[in-house]
Amino acid sequence: MKYPITQYQSKDLSRLTAFLNASWQYDSITESILQEKLEGDPYWMPEATFVCKDKDEIIGFMQGVMRDIRGTRYAYIKLMAVDETYRRQGIASAMFEKLEAIFKQNEADVVRICDVPLNYFMPGIDPRYTPALCWAMRKGFERFGDTSNLLVDLNQDWDMSAKETALKADNIEVRRARPEDKQAILDFIKDDWLLWSNEVEMAFKDDQPSIHIALLNGEVKAFSAHNANNKGTGWFGPMGTHPDLRGKGMGAILLKRCLQDMKDMGLSHSIIPWVGPIDFYSWHSNAVVDRVFWRYEKKLK
């Protein structure tokens, strides 16, 4: 392959941002969000982040990261792109060859594409990127599922104060999290939702924590967050409720508190990403399916 592949350097951030925006037909990214996806990843791997150049022009990019999840060592292609005029010349394949060697050296069990827990841009491949799908299949990736991003029009009434007041009779308090609540929330999620810890940490980086909680007799039993991934773009989540509070409408209350926050930020829409319970969000926020993503993986062992 005649074009050199080197490790990404931080001095290339502005040019890489412009390259990705020119190469992606259905997505756009800012420098700050790209920085969040690169050095901002809690397990950033600079040795597994590659650019391909023709002279001084970026013509290809691929970022790899890894996660240990429930006894499985996952590797991911987190972001990738090839300039349209340079496609079908083996650039993506050459970058992946280097990436796959690193993954194998680090004893990865499986490689997935885009759906990176803790810190991600999109939860899979939008099938409208048909060349990317075809490339993945040629490289031995197999489709194992799909997921969706929902879109919410924020120009709605999200007030749930009457419901919140009624819950006080059951010793349930609903409020915005305070900085001193962070450890209690991290303790709450550590058993069932440990993968959300980085997003909780990110929500607490805002001047006013972008996270709301419900407490039963003073103990955190439910939470919802926003602005914890892809900051400033209106992303909702994560959200979780302990069985002690289920059936009391807590999910709807916490969801709407976050949606009101985003409305107050001046955003017109919110994105609810990587959705499982589509019906819940549709019922409580009139959310609609906006994008669908296909999930691919390749076994290495």
174-192 per-position pLDDT tens digit: 999 999 999 999 999 998 8
Q: Residue 168 pLDDT > 80, yes or no?
A: yes
pLDDT at res. 93 = 97
Is 1's pLDDT higher than 80? no
pLDDT digits (tens, 9 = 90+) for 62-99: 999 999 999 999 999 999 999 999 999 999 999 999 99
Q: Which runs of consecutive H residues, i.e. helices, occur in the chain?
A: 13-23, 31-37, 91-105, 130-138, 161-167, 182-189, 197-203, 250-264, 278-285
What proportion of the chain, given as a percentage, has pLDDT over 90?
A: 95
The whole-number average pLDDT for the span 271-281 is: 94
pLDDT at residue 146 is higher than 90 = yes
Average pLDDT for 276-292: 95
Decide if pLDDT at 245 tops 90. no
Q: How far apart are CA 203 and CA 209, in angstroms?
A: 6
Of the pLDDT bands very low, low, confident and very high (cuts 50, 70, 90), residue 265 is very high
Does position 256 have pLDDT exceeding 80, yes or no?
A: yes
Q: What is the distance of C-alpha 249 from the center of its chain?
A: 26
Q: Would you state the pLDDT for residue 246?
A: 86
- Whole-angstrom Cα distance, residue 154 to residue 235? 12
pLDDT for 26 beyond 90: yes
Q: What is the mean pLDDT of residues 224-232?
A: 96
pLDDT value for 252: 96
pLDDT at residue 276, as a whole number: 80
Instruction: Look up the pTM and report it.
Output: 0.94
